[in-house]
Amino acid sequence: MVFAKNLVGDILSFEALVDCTLALMDINEQRLAQTTAVAEAMVENGDVGATIESTTDRRDALEGADYVLNMINVGRTEPFENEIRIPERYGVEQAIGDTLGPGGIFRGLRAIPTMLEIAADMEADPPRAKLSRVGNAVSQPTYPIPNCPIRAFNA
């Protein structure tokens, strides 16, 4: 939620984007409702003309998009805890474990299939949109994307 709030604030801070449409998407309706409420309050309090849309359907969110900002966390907290604890049992300590080392590898492996699904959905709508991964792990989930006809980069 904090990451999404900061990202929305950053987007709305650019003069060229104050009248944009932000299509928020989450598979969790409760998180989506919370993020949408925060984004709508930021638009209202920031006196900008942006429109906030929200959906649990990824294809709906992608329709007509110019940019796709991705910050998924596949599996939530439990796998992340295991990615730290299991290597520790074998003497491998990690500072954070979300980008490098064993934890980063497994986090990337969890996210890659979903990133490929997103890329496939983006191909269905003329692949003009640019995909940017803005959450940790940043790089691993976008490694296979160059094999798709969409444009992807890491923020």
pLDDT at 147: 59
Q: State how many domains the chain has.
A: 1
Most confident of 61-65, 69-73, 135-139: 61-65
Q: Which residues form the domain of 110? A: 2-154
CATH number at 43 reads 3.40.50.720
User: Over the chain, what HEC string results?
Assistant: CHHHHHHHHHHHCCHHHCCCEEEEECCCHHHHHHHHHHHHHHHHHHCCCCEEEEECCHHHHHCCCCEEEECCCCCCHHHHHHHHHHHHHCCCCCCCCCCCHHHHHHHHHHHHHHHHHHHHHHHHCCCCCEEEECCCCCCHHHCCHHHCCCEEEEC
* pLDDT at 46 exceeding the cut of 80: yes
